[in-house]
Structure 1
């Protein structure tokens, strides 16, 4: 269906096919004038060829040689009827004229240009001053050849614009490409019209066969080829093409203006696609009963009821993606892994089971609904989306499988990388040996934090905590995310600790080490001109074994510290003099801790995932005699409880 532009163009074959398809789909009620009836009878939308003398006269009048594709077009037909859906008559040699800009569009468009405007932006804004207008009769549509936007073959770009588009002029590489787009527009409008006669011809049959084969290609894992075919067929308005393509591009992360082409309103596919559509758009764009304006039309009562349920679940954070069969079982296992931070393991669980995934219907290409799951959705990065789509599944589950994409670095050294956006200026975490994450609140939880909160991002958990409760200048209860830190270890991680208080700090490692070893690490940049901080404390069976605190050039230590963790070796540069905002040796210390204890922290889960959280006991001791503090109350007013 795609014509190839080049030094020569098959205008006769292309325009003949277009004319015959138009005539077969002709509706007398849509006729604009007697010329339409004549075009139907003759099965030709064009006119007689332009004589060479007429073409030469036009070039002399314009003072330009015509671009090749427009010149050879005129040699076949001196003008054209119905160039797409909005240009009803296209100019021949007599009607082509320079655009006069009666509406002052040049001035309006150039107001938006600045000194940083690109050449393309300048050409778009100034086309009104030099364009060759080809639209003789249209729905307020302009079609202009640009004598200053010329390619190496001598082709002039074509710019089209209509005020009702509410967008800048659209550029086409040549007149040939413009006519190809107009032909596709004709097809698209006819295919989507409910009132027009049945629109079936050799072009539509060929496209539909290509779509079906591309569907099978997509299930085989050849998603790039399939997506290209769907995109081409979609331009022709072929049914199925848009819905199939949107499933691919959603999993690749492109969700703007993608809505599964109405498939989400089908009761067969709604359980999979509707949650993805709602979650991808955000609840603020959903009106009243949840209908997403313009994109889920014709919903049945069954789908409306599902829509309300899903919207409520997404708002409450209780939605969970489900699937049938072995893949559904894998989804449950992956959710369990993801909620404890084992993101790479969860991803491998899903990908291993993916060949056993079964579609809900013939137009279902992949488990798109995963993107709506609060635990599994964050796993689907663009790279993982490609791996998922490259894995054969469903009826085509044969051949090689995609390689899992592990995105979490092992160990802890990644914590020493300070993001350019300033986040994670400091952190602290607890590693506990021999207990599961859900046992941590019983070891170090605050009075009101002995149960784990439902999985959420650290940002959401912190916002929820700030909405009520109290805080004081001495009380240092930490909101921590918890999960597994490798074989035999659990972690509790705080990404936004209070400033380190040397005098009152009490390591929670002692309380947490009831069943084995516990490790506490606290690090932060120099924010108060005291020097950068790195603290390590290790306890076992409720007794602290060793600890050290590096603060700028100082180092306080206790106990018998293993050689591999010795701060004199790890932080020798920091202690040799000079004040550093970041502490040289931090990454090496984190690597040594990870190696010594065989533990790791999941970067992806902490930065992008949803984990259980709870509030710990204070990491500082209560104030002593004569020490004062301040209480800050959040939320509704509470009785005054200040003073030590």
Structure 2
């Protein structure tokens, strides 16, 4: 619409009327007024005179807002404002609502003694508002004389009994009518049966803009593309929502993202079904039958495919693949990510993205990888924007600046506060010159299922994973499930972010057993004293023999061996009560001395292989009591 002037109204309303008339079956029975409107191609009425408008204003005691006033001078009322208001008031029918709906009582009852003036003002619309709906499907349309902008426009509020949300607000009457025009389009676009094909100048223009939005998206201009697609979706244009959902999914907007009109096309199933299955698996409280909701119209083969994918996702067995050079990069990225190098894995994907090719004309971006248990955790909102901003599919455009890496160097990030406050206790083993897949031979418990590497899991999933068959555990055993990966050039790690309580009299460092033919480092810290006493332990072994170690416990330092000056605990705990203040510089010293790091993003948000280690505590001695429990 060109503006809410008399000329703008007439052009807009004539278009609406003509499209409405053309959308009706000619042989359909309808009431005489609608049939007359169809023949005249005019949903309105004769214009109101200035005198009629002035008389209305005198009756109501207020001058009407500009957009509604200019509307009346073009047509004194309107039929079929959207799909649920069948007659909109002109000069004779507009009136104060005066709580006719009794909604004022309902909203005022919900206000408590702490309600502010704004909340009371919003509830009062149902007493003071000017009612414009004359006939409707349980829908109210009110102009609010107290919600006025700098141009003198009154806001419009609508409420419908079958909508479970709050009243919808429009900035002015013209904006309300534009929204009702879009609603008319959306409802007509989704109707099937005897109605004529809903094609006109407006739909052709919108569909052309959808095609241009697709090209914008592939060029990397996703913001412009999404704005265009959102507008086309309001008009109910096919493809608009399915294309827009592909962008929204990478922005982290997973709620009600179903890829309609696209997901049921078998060409796109390899990319679009896995994200649907993964989101459902994460929030499947409604049962698996709800997974078929976005697949209405799909054949049996496609429905079977999504349930098979769901089963793979739940089992952690889904693997994303893609054709061509981009698919080769996906494989390299997964190999990097499964050992913790998520930053390099992300760069591998984005560097190859210009080589990616869509599966068809309604495919905007690779998406199946977000359901991959190893690749999916690479995604953040910032990275999603970077991916969307990267030109791809053979389209030219300017590459975006890379997003910063998520892994800080070294180890000091371990003391940074987590979502619940302090990071808490942790322990890890570093082994030099050994690949992560070889750690079970050095650390693994030969009698446990975890003697070999498990499939990639989060640490939380690993802790809750129960091996099959009978199990026996002892109060003297401390066999943690630890995530493994690469700790920088030439080093591998095993990490436990939720260790058992430290038992210094029974503790046995795994450094010596891990260091056969090489060097190993063990760190165990709870300087925040989240569990019992405050402590920090470091032990280093070479060729199966401990070289040096120290344990600081509430100010007392116990040491063995020749500790290098860089790691001398006296440097860090010289001040009594240094405690947690010593942890960061001590971790920095360990990282620099050995040239190691731990991957923060993979440990906190990703999935890594895990291993169940040998016990970190010695067996009980004569006279020591302990508890053994068995589970069948």
Common fold: TM-score over 0.5? yes
Q: Is the 8 A contact 1:371 1:378 kept in 2?
A: yes
The residue aligned with 1:41 is: 39
Shift of 1:476: 1.1
The residue aligned with 1:332 is: 331
The residue aligned with 2:309 is: 310
Q: Is the 8 A contact 1:435 1:515 kept in 2?
A: no
Q: Is the 8 A contact 1:290 1:307 kept in 2?
A: no
User: For each residue in 1:72-126, what CA deviation from the matched residue of structure 2 results, as whole angstroms up to 9, or x when unmatched?
Assistant: 1111111011111111110001101111434422222333334565776555444
**Match among 582, 590, 594 for residue 593 of structure 1:** 590
Distance 1:127 1:506, change over 3 A: same
Distance 1:430 1:118, change over 3 A: farther
Q: Is the 8 A contact 1:384 1:405 kept in 2?
A: no
User: For each residue in 1:188-241, what CA deviation from the matched residue of structure 2 results, as whole angstroms up to 9, or x when unmatched?
Assistant: 111111132112222111111111111011001010110000001110111111
User: For each residue in 1:256-275, what CA deviation from the matched residue of structure 2 results, as whole angstroms up to 9, or x when unmatched?
Assistant: 11211132121111121111
Q: Is the 8 A contact 1:337 1:343 kept in 2?
A: yes
Q: Is the 8 A contact 1:351 1:404 kept in 2?
A: no
Q: Is the 8 A contact 2:2 2:8 kept in 1?
A: no
Q: Is the 8 A contact 1:327 1:356 kept in 2?
A: yes
Once residues 434 and 245 of structure 1 are traced to their aligned partners in structure 2, the CA distance between those partners, rounded to angstroms, is: 48
The residue aligned with 2:431 is: 432
Shift of 1:7: 8.3
Shift of 1:576: 2.2
- Say yes or no: does 1:619 pair with 2:616: yes
Number of residue pairs aligned between Structure 1 and Structure 2: 628
Shift of 1:5: 5.6
Once residues 151 and 244 of structure 2 are traced to their aligned partners in structure 1, the CA distance between those partners, rounded to angstroms, is: 34
**Match among 488, 498, 502 for residue 500 of structure 1:** 502
Once residues 530 and 303 of structure 1 are traced to their aligned partners in structure 2, the CA distance between those partners, rounded to angstroms, is: 55
**Match among 62, 65, 80 for residue 64 of structure 1:** 62
The residue aligned with 1:90 is: 88
Bigger shift: residues 158-167 or 195-204: 195-204
Distance 1:364 1:554, change over 3 A: same
The residue aligned with 2:111 is: 113
How does the TM-score come out when normalised to structure 1?
A: 0.93
Distance 1:379 1:170, change over 3 A: same
Once residues 192 and 52 of structure 2 are traced to their aligned partners in structure 1, the CA distance between those partners, rounded to angstroms, is: 42
Bigger shift: residues 408-417 or 485-494: 408-417
Shift of 1:28: 4.4
What SS does the corresponding residue of 2:47 show, helix, strand or coil?
Answer: coil
Shift of 1:289: 7.4
Distance 1:119 1:571, change over 3 A: farther
What SS does the corresponding residue of 2:295 show, helix, strand or coil?
Answer: coil
Once residues 115 and 7 of structure 1 are traced to their aligned partners in structure 2, the CA distance between those partners, rounded to angstroms, is: 44
Distance 1:277 1:80, change over 3 A: same
> 1:532-611 maps to which residues of 2 (within 5 A)?
532-572=534-574, 575-577=575-577, 583-611=580-608
Shift of 1:546: 1.5
- Where does structure 2 lack aligned partners over 5 or more consecutive residues? none
Once residues 72 and 508 of structure 2 are traced to their aligned partners in structure 1, the CA distance between those partners, rounded to angstroms, is: 87
Once residues 287 and 526 of structure 1 are traced to their aligned partners in structure 2, the CA distance between those partners, rounded to angstroms, is: 41
Q: Is the 8 A contact 2:292 2:303 kept in 1?
A: no
The residue aligned with 2:281 is: 282
- Where does structure 1 lack aligned partners over 5 or more consecutive residues? 637-644
Once residues 33 and 373 of structure 2 are traced to their aligned partners in structure 1, the CA distance between those partners, rounded to angstroms, is: 59
The residue aligned with 2:225 is: 226
- Say yes or no: does 1:452 pair with 2:453: yes
Shift of 1:622: 1.3
Q: Is the 8 A contact 2:473 2:628 kept in 1?
A: yes
Bigger shift: residues 523-532 or 102-111: 523-532
Once residues 395 and 270 of structure 1 are traced to their aligned partners in structure 2, the CA distance between those partners, rounded to angstroms, is: 22
- Say yes or no: does 1:400 pair with 2:402: no
Q: Is the 8 A contact 1:323 1:331 kept in 2?
A: yes
Q: Is the 8 A contact 1:570 1:585 kept in 2?
A: yes
Q: Is the 8 A contact 1:123 1:149 kept in 2?
A: no
The residue aligned with 2:300 is: 301
Q: Is the 8 A contact 1:481 1:611 kept in 2?
A: yes
Once residues 305 and 108 of structure 1 are traced to their aligned partners in structure 2, the CA distance between those partners, rounded to angstroms, is: 47
Distance 1:330 1:113, change over 3 A: farther
